[in-house]
Amino acid sequence: MNPSTEFIPFAKPSLGPEEEEAVLRIMRSGWLTTGSETLAFEREFADFVGVPRAMAVNSATSGLHLALEALGIGPGDVVVAPTYTFASTAAVVRHLGAEVAFCDTAPGSYNMDPGALESVLKTTRNVRAVVPVHVGGLPCDMDAIVPLARRYGCAVVEDAAHAFPSRTAAGMAGTLGDIGVYSFYATKTITTGEGGMVVSGNEALCARMSRMRMHGIDREVWDRYTSKKASWVYEVSEAGFKYNLPDILSAMGRVQLTKADRFLAERQAIAGIYNQAFGSHSGLVLPPSGTGHAWHLYSLRVNPREAGADRDGLIAALADAGIGCSVHFIPLHTMPYWAGRYALEPDSYPNALAMYQSTLSLPIWQGMGPERATRVAEAVLSALAGGRS
């Protein structure tokens, strides 16, 4: 790479003076932890996605843990999760002492296959919940998954870590099951550095998650400091967790939320540039698209049927050209912990394995702009043509 060439990272947060001012305001206010700013963020987020209640948490991982705990998942229970996901989707099941039944993707898709889900539900006992993951921001086929889960008496927890804002005909991804969980991790479309939001239309589940998020205490922290009742009076009714989001991060989140639709439009434009550049190339397979794609990831595939298809070589060539890439995901069933626990082989879930072996995620972030996207596209095409950019 020419030393004067700008490095294009795989992801980059879009934070401006508005976020800086919001964070400074909280720093100067003397109240850093969860308080009125977080309450406001929760209300605004709930309005945005169209649910009665949203609960801010310190990560999506915490949110998934809270969600399954609130559903009463525990030892002896089984939760169906896709193998094509990040570590935490499945790890939280084990935190509760329950077991995971993995589910394959549909051929050519990064998302859970409803047909494979049905086979798992038919053949596995004690399944209590299904956790579809909207990989890359493309909503899963929830019209098939939700009724199927209901038929087998299972709750649905959406891992919507990538899916904001993803609008479908039935509502926003994350609001289509019993509980939805979003992530505001640093690479996500809207970010608080670390953080997340849990949403549900079920009051009892919300009450449980809200209590368990704060040590199992029966009073919300801001209530303890604003209500007439003495602040030191509270009861611990459960052995809860410490999963709250502090005001200093909620302040950033509130500003980011106001920009979410602009961010989405910018990501759609970059995906459009890539699709246009790669659509007719026989060595490449475009990411699946569909209604409500949030384009958190642009996961391209090298066509495995083309001679010389070499995903790793392409990533190396892009690195040489000053372009950062990533791979989403290495399927969980190939990880030592899960492979060992359930005696799984790489080809136990052949569709997920094939997707993993051929995929790479290209840079896509708001603020990237068409020029950088065009440079990335040209570097991909040049590398495939055998050149080095």
Catalytic sites, residue numbers: 188
CB nearer ligand PLP, residue 140 or residue 285: 140
- The least distance separating ligand PLP from the CB of residue 162, rounded to whole angstroms, comes to 6
CB nearer ligand PLP, residue 1 or residue 186: 186
Site string for ligand PLP, 37-76 (x = CB under 6 A): ----------------------xxx---------------
Total of chain residues touching ligand PLP, rule CB under 6 A: 14
CB nearer ligand PLP, residue 156 or residue 317: 156
| 183 contacts ligand PLP (rule: CB under 6 A) | yes
Tokens of 309: 């298809």
φ/ψ (deg, to 5) at 127: -75, 125
Return d(Cα 77, Cα 60) in angstroms, integer.
22
- The least distance separating ligand PLP from the CB of residue 342, rounded to whole angstroms, comes to 20
Return d(Cα 5, Cα 235) in angstroms, integer.
59
| 159 contacts ligand PLP (rule: CB under 6 A) | yes
CA angle, residues 71, 73, 75, in degrees to nearest 5: 165
- The least distance separating ligand PLP from the CB of residue 260, rounded to whole angstroms, comes to 16
CB nearer ligand PLP, residue 91 or residue 269: 91
- 243-272 residues near ligand PLP, rule: CB under 6 A: none
- Is the peptide bond prior to 165 cis by the omega test (within 30 degrees of 0)? yes
Residue (of 182, 179, 203) closest to 191 by Cα position: 182
- Do 361 and 10 contact (CB within 8 A), yes or no? yes
| 133 contacts ligand PLP (rule: CB under 6 A) | yes
| 161 contacts ligand PLP (rule: CB under 6 A) | yes
Strand ranges across the sheet with 359-362: 284-285, 298-302, 359-362
Return d(Cα 288, Cα 285) in angstroms, integer.
9
In the set 137, 165, 196, 292, which binds ligand PLP (CB under 6 A)?
A: 196
Site string for ligand PLP, 73-92 (x = CB under 6 A): ------------xx-xx---
Return d(Cα 375, Cα 2) in angstroms, integer.
14
Return d(Cα 248, Cα 131) in angstroms, integer.
30
Contact set with ligand PLP (CB under 6 A): 59-61, 85-86, 88-89, 133, 159, 161-162, 183, 185, 196
